[in-house]
Structure 1
Amino acid sequence: MNTQILLLEDDSALQSFLQTLLESQGYQVEVQAYGQKGLQWLGQHHCDLLLLDLGLADMDGIAVLQQLRSWSDLPVIVISARGKEQDKVKALDLGANDYVTKPFSSAELLARIRASLRVPRGQSQQFQFGDIVLDPVQHQVSRAGTAVHLTKTEYELLLMLCRHANQALTHNQILKHVWGETYQDRPEYVRVHMAQLRQKLEQQPATPRFLRTEAGVGYRLCID
């Protein structure tokens, strides 16, 4: 089955451009201009990815995202002219997998789509990036075949990043999952442990290949 993408965008010129671009890459594309109609379509059809504009005519895209997340974990990439960090953080905290700010290049959008579609599924598989392997069954991490000792917090942080590979994760998403509800708005906790992970896993910790910073937002594990 070809990959099915729903484009939820009310700008007719951008609709036409993106539909042509995506179909040229072999994707099947459904275009909807209204949030409620888009949600109804998702409830009735198979879909692999949602491209979601926030400035829809009938409802805010954030409301679409909130409704969708109540019943689906479908990958969502927000495409929006709202480029402020707080807008990105809000969308990501509410369950968006990625956020692309308008105007964007075709190459960037296609790369983000490919990355979101590559997100590993399942809880028991091994995760590998570069020469690093995480085995969630054995609770082991190795680099170039040699075991790497991680603290419990470092391991949980890395496991979360692996399970959401190629997705931008906010500080609060990470804090809530790894540290718990009472540790919201403490990004320094994440920064310290991310720095420790980079020292143990990256060849050049100061310029990491895999454990990337999303400025003002959080972090992303980038898997080639």
Structure 2
Amino acid sequence: MSKRILLIEDEAAIADTIVYALQREGYQVSWHGLGRDGLAALDADGAALVVLDVGLPDGSGFDLCRELRQRHATPVIFLTARGDEIDRVVGLELGADDYVVKPFSPRELVARIKAILRRGAPVATAPASGGLQHDVGRARICLHGQPLELTRYEYRLLAQLMAQPERVFSRSQLMDAVWQDPAASFERTVDAHIKSLRAKLREADPACDPIRTHRGLGYSLSWTA
């Protein structure tokens, strides 16, 4: 079954080029020119990945990404005419997986999409004794049967730890596995996300504290916690 790509781009000429390039590679494409229509389509039908223009007629793509991240863990690639480093960093910190500056090669965009879908595929895991369970098909992690409200990177970080319980991951290993462009962030970003993950786990269950810190080494997840 071909994967469905959601394209949110208001410039018809650019959208037509992207749709053609993606369809040639066997992808299904749903194109929307307004952010609110694209988000509604994602809520209704889902998608393997979202290609999102930063400058939309009904608002900022950055704001739309913030709203999207509250409900979905779907990978996002930003399209923008702005190439300033601060815009790029803001986009990635909002939870985007990549950032492509116009004008760009459709072949390059397709290659980036393929790379994200390859490395973003979650690994199925068994239920943990502590009550954690990874629902791969729905891209969500549950604690005692209740879905956790996680950001894109929180989800990918916890999924990575769950995939190999008891293994100690260094910060650099976690950045390479979870962040699409590790060079755009810092290793302390891992610490910040671990902290927020712990807080959300304790909020759901005060006794749940499965993430272990190994000083000078990194982090692991213990099923027996």
TM-score (norm 1): 0.64
Task: Look up the match of 1:137.
Answer: 165
Structure 2: gaps spanning 5 or more residues: 127-160, 196-225
Tell me how far 1:156 sits from its aligned partner: 2.9
- Matched residue SS, 2:59: coil
Please, what is the CA RMSD of the aligned residues?
A: 2.6
Task: Look up the match of 2:41.
Answer: 41
CA shift digits 1:37-65 (9 cap, x unpaired): 11111110021010000010111101110
- Matched residue SS, 2:82: coil
Distance, in Å, in 2 between the alignment partners of 1:137 and 1:123 is: 12
Specify the code of the residue in structure 2 equivalent to 1:69: R
Decide whether aligned partners of structure 1 residues 47 and 180 sit closer, same or farther in structure 2, where only a CA change above 3 A counts.
Answer: closer
- Matched residue SS, 2:17: helix
Tell me how far 1:21 sits from its aligned partner: 1.1
Specify the code of the residue in structure 2 equivalent to 1:89: V
- For the 8 Å contact 1:80–1:101, the answer to whether it is kept is yes
Structure 1: gaps spanning 5 or more residues: 126-133, 141-151, 183-224
- For the 8 Å contact 1:175–1:181, the answer to whether it is kept is no
Tell me how far 1:122 sits from its aligned partner: 3.7
Specify the code of the residue in structure 2 equivalent to 1:105: S
% identical aligned pairs = 36
Distance, in Å, in 2 between the alignment partners of 1:44 and 1:124 is: 27
Specify the code of the residue in structure 1 equivalent to 2:167: H
CA shift digits 1:51-105 (9 cap, x unpaired): 0000101111011100000111100011111111000000000000101111111
Tell me how far 1:123 sits from its aligned partner: 7.8
Is 1:159 equivalent to 2:159 in the alignment? no
Task: Look up the match of 1:171.
Answer: 185
Task: Look up the match of 2:21.
Answer: 21
Counterparts in 2 of 1:178-189, with a 5 A limit?
Answer: 178=191
Distance, in Å, in 1 between the alignment partners of 2:193 and 2:78 is: 26
CA shift digits 1:153-181 (9 cap, x unpaired): xx1331232234xx114325x42323679
Specify the code of the residue in structure 1 equivalent to 2:185: H
Specify the code of the residue in structure 2 equivalent to 1:33: G
Task: Look up the match of 1:213.
Answer: none
- For the 8 Å contact 1:75–1:116, the answer to whether it is kept is yes
Distance, in Å, in 2 between the alignment partners of 1:103 and 1:23 is: 20
- For the 8 Å contact 2:9–2:53, the answer to whether it is kept is yes
Is 1:31 equivalent to 2:45 in the alignment? no
Decide whether aligned partners of structure 1 residues 124 and 156 sit closer, same or farther in structure 2, where only a CA change above 3 A counts.
Answer: farther
Task: Look up the match of 1:101.
Answer: 101
Distance, in Å, in 2 between the alignment partners of 1:123 and 1:160 is: 20
Counterparts in 2 of 1:79-90, with a 5 A limit?
Answer: 79-90=79-90
Tell me how far 1:34 sits from its aligned partner: 0.3
Decide whether aligned partners of structure 1 residues 51 and 179 sit closer, same or farther in structure 2, where only a CA change above 3 A counts.
Answer: closer
- For the 8 Å contact 1:120–1:163, the answer to whether it is kept is no
Distance, in Å, in 2 between the alignment partners of 1:21 and 1:181 is: 38
Decide whether aligned partners of structure 1 residues 178 and 7 sit closer, same or farther in structure 2, where only a CA change above 3 A counts.
Answer: same
Specify the code of the residue in structure 2 equivalent to 1:75: P
Distance, in Å, in 2 between the alignment partners of 1:179 and 1:40 is: 31
Distance, in Å, in 1 between the alignment partners of 2:193 and 2:7 is: 34
Decide whether aligned partners of structure 1 residues 122 and 55 sit closer, same or farther in structure 2, where only a CA change above 3 A counts.
Answer: same
